[in-house]
Amino acid sequence: MTRTLVFGGARSGKSAYAEQLARSSGKEVIYIATAQAGDGEMATRIIHHRLQRPAEWITLEEPLCLGEVILQQAHPKRLLLVDCLTLWLTNLLFSNGETYPEVGDIVLPERFHSERALLLYALADLEDTGCDIVLVSNEVGMGIVPYGAISRCFTDEAGRLNQAVAAICDKAVLVAAGLPLHLKGGPC
């Protein structure tokens, strides 16, 4: 059983690297997609990703209840591939149609806290199941501090989530320019 976090910037090659790990596992792959087609551009991206995946992979689309799906799908003969945590985080921030102020304090919805806690519980619980998991996430905190309270909140929460997931995972890999840098647990 191995839990691996693969993260990096936009178009860094992180998803391709995660998919390579899944293909080489020799296990049944359950691809858990968190994206939602909120507009035409995102719908096109989702179709592109679907076409790149091997036909035998099972795809589950889950924008919010990620921890629950991980617990349901965990099996020793499976590898779960989650792409991606930052889209999932965005989905949670706006799960009830929230609007946030440009300045001032941000109060996160209760569902954000409960789903985040369930995800971390599910990842810790995988140790007992023998199921492998690869989680893809964005590193969003390496650039300019964003303008607007919700953008800064998102950056902070994405960083906190990546830290919490990396602490649970056996391996953490930063991908930049398509090249993996193994930060925790050695080469995959």
Compute the distance between CA of residue 138 and CA of residue 12 in angstroms, rounded to an integer.
9
Question: Residue 33 pLDDT more than 80?
Answer: yes
The three-state DSSP-derived secondary structure of the chain is CCEEEEEECCCCCHHHHHHHHHHHCCCEEEEEECCCCCCHHHHHHHHHHHHHCCCCCEEEECCCCHHHHHHHHCCCCEEEEEECHHHHHHHHHCCCCCCCCCCCCCCCCHHHHHHHHHHHHHHHHHHHCCCEEEEEEECCCCCCCCCCHHHHHHHHHHHHHHHHHHHHCCEEEEEECCEEEEEECCCC
- Tokens 């551009």 correspond to 41
Distance (Å, rounded) from C-alpha 137 to C-alpha 151?
17
- Point out which residues pair with 171 in neighbouring strands: 4
Q: What percent of the chain has pLDDT over 90?
A: 78
Asked if the model's pLDDT at residue 36 lies above 80, the reply is yes
Mean pLDDT of all residues belonging to the chain:
94
The pLDDT value recorded for residue 40 is 87
42-46, 64-68, 76-80: segment of lowest average pLDDT: 42-46
Q: Provide CATH code, domain 3-184.
A: 3.40.50.300
pLDDT tier for residue 178 given thresholds of 50, 70 and 90 = very high
Q: Omega into 65 within 30° of 0, i.e. cis?
A: no
pLDDT tens, position by position, 83-121: 999 999 999 999 988 888 889 999 999 999 999 999 999
Do 7 and 172 form a contact (C-beta atoms < 8 A)? yes
Query: Catalytic residue at 49?
Result: yes
Task: Please pick, among 49, 75, 113, 182, the residue that the annotation labels catalytic.
Answer: 49
- Going by C-alpha positions, the residue among 156, 145, 151, 143 that lies closest to residue 102 is 151
Q: Over the stretch 125-166, which tens digit does the pLDDT of each residue have?
A: 998 899 999 999 999 988 777 889 999 999 999 999 999 999
In this predicted structure, what is the pLDDT of residue 75?
97
pLDDT score for 156 = 95
What is the per-residue pLDDT for 188? 66
